[in-house]
Structure 1
Amino acid sequence: MSIPNIISIFRILLIPLFIYTFVTGTGDGRIIYPIIIFIISGISDVLDGYIARTYHMETKLGAVLDPLADKLMLITALICFAVYDYIPYWIVILVALKELFMTGGGIIAYQRGIVNRANAWGKMATFLFHISIVMFLVSKTLAFLLLIVSIVISFSALFTYVRLTLEQKKKMDGPA
């Protein structure tokens, strides 16, 4: 197993620790320790991608594990924040539905020979989601606003993926 894949698995294994520290934490500890874990996950996300690209260690498994780890950690964090009233539940539902749609669409596209790599909107949304979660240490209001911006940008990424997929499908189908 490649080092980037091991790092992605490590990120997935951080999720129960994130939940545990969030649920058992009190006072400032309820949010500080989970956010430290979230930061470690974010840094290791950058690290596994860098190693995979730099040392040509990209694998099909990694192409699944890396975004899966991102999505699971993000949804977990949002659920925890909603359960403890930091954010409304509709945010969790909206982001989860969008991620399910993108994942399902990605699987269908892949089965048809269409592969879309991460685009700038998606990378920006992921970055802003991470920053918004960390911002809860500083200001709940600012973090919430940044979270809304992240959601808007993530939907821009979704629309870009849909457009690119349809364009690729049209090319594959040939002239009508």
Structure 2
Amino acid sequence: MKTLFKVSAAATVRAMFAATLFMFCAQSALAQDEIVLTVTGTAEPAEFTMAELQAMPVTSFETTTIWTEGAQSFTGVSLHSFLAELDVEGGTLNAAAINDYVVEIPVADAVEGGPIIAYARNGEVMSVRNNGPLWIVYPYDSNADYQSEVIYARSIWQLVRIDVVQ
């Protein structure tokens, strides 16, 4: 068999990298339209895409956590603002993760300067593998009250559902 052209190993690697990058970017674009958070127990159930969450007022802070090394920068929507958008003023939030793990968070925790529904850590959108796509994070370093087992237990990652219980 006669070879019509030769392809170097480097060219093959570059082509494979380009194809992988293209597929990753295509998946990232699709993820913006996928439902990432469902809220029930409100007047009307609500579903949010990543793009909708990112369009809400942005809150960022830097804090250390017991699960990561060193200070981390978190970006998301404040739980206070998020619940105000939904007209939730009291009760409890049953926050559920992808694996159906559920924690109870009092609505009273949703104060200005308090926890956020984080969608980015250190400037990068969080993957499921890295505690995403959503993680309820408290600014642990800003208030000694946030450095307790109770608060750590409320810091649910891989968040997909919030049930509001009045």
Is TM (by shorter chain) over 0.5?
A: no
> Which has a greater percent of helix?
1
TM range (shorter): under 0.3
Q: Higher relative contact order by CA 8 Å / sep ≥ 6: 1 or 2?
A: 2
> Which has a greater percent of strand?
2
Normalization by structure 2: what TM-score? Answer: 0.27
